[in-house]
Amino acid sequence: MSRVSGRVFQINVKPQTPGERGLPKHPVDSVFVTKAGVRGDFNKYRHEERADDFDSAMLLMPLETLQQLESEGWPIRPGDVGENVTTVGLSYDQFSPGKVFRLGDARIQISRPCDPCTNLYLLPYVGRSRGPEFLRTMLGRRGWYARVLSEGQIKKNDPIEESVAPDPET
């Protein structure tokens, strides 16, 4: 059993680009997600430091959190902090490790929160001068990593359904 909790507001990717990090990411209309991650997206940290950890296959961030940050004076936009999926209709605290969601054809499980890192200094409105302040601001609201339980296509505006009972696919 599941219930609609929200929807996919925006999908964000950034291909591997020599000399660059994985943010900001750019919007696309749909993606295919595998257990290894989001096709067409490259995360240097995940690849080099986490050995392509399946628990970091994708990153989710609620639009509501981005709007809160914007109201605090940060001109943040969906994709800026490297999230693959910007959600809408789900608050930050509705995500937690172990929760399972269906996004389009894919099923994911939240694995852990994402910690802010100095890669955020690359954002033009942050830089080195405001970097430490932005990292403090992002503590506890940098997004959520998820593992992919069932591969599939995710499209913009797809409903996000939270599983409220064990799913027989697991």
pLDDT in tens, 113-124: 999 999 999 999
* Candidate from 15-19, 63-67, 103-107, 131-135 with smallest mean pLDDT: 15-19
Find the mean pLDDT for residues 127-149: 96
Is the distance from CB of 141 to CB of 14 less than 8 angstroms? no
Give the integer Cα–Cα distance in Å for 134 and 74.
Answer: 9
Write down the pLDDT at residue 165: 55
Nearest to 140 by CA among 61, 67, 51, 23: 61
Is the distance from CB of 139 to CB of 116 less than 8 angstroms? yes
Q: Is the pLDDT of residue 55 over 80?
A: yes
Whole-model pTM? 0.92
Nearest to 155 by CA among 44, 38, 2: 38
Distances (CA, A) of 141 to 10, 51, 53, 55, 157: 18, 24, 21, 18, 23
**CATH of span 2-156:** 2.40.33.20
Is the distance from CB of 86 to CB of 28 less than 8 angstroms? no
Q: State whether residue 25 is helix, strand or coil.
A: coil
Give the integer Cα–Cα distance in Å for 111 and 132.
Answer: 26
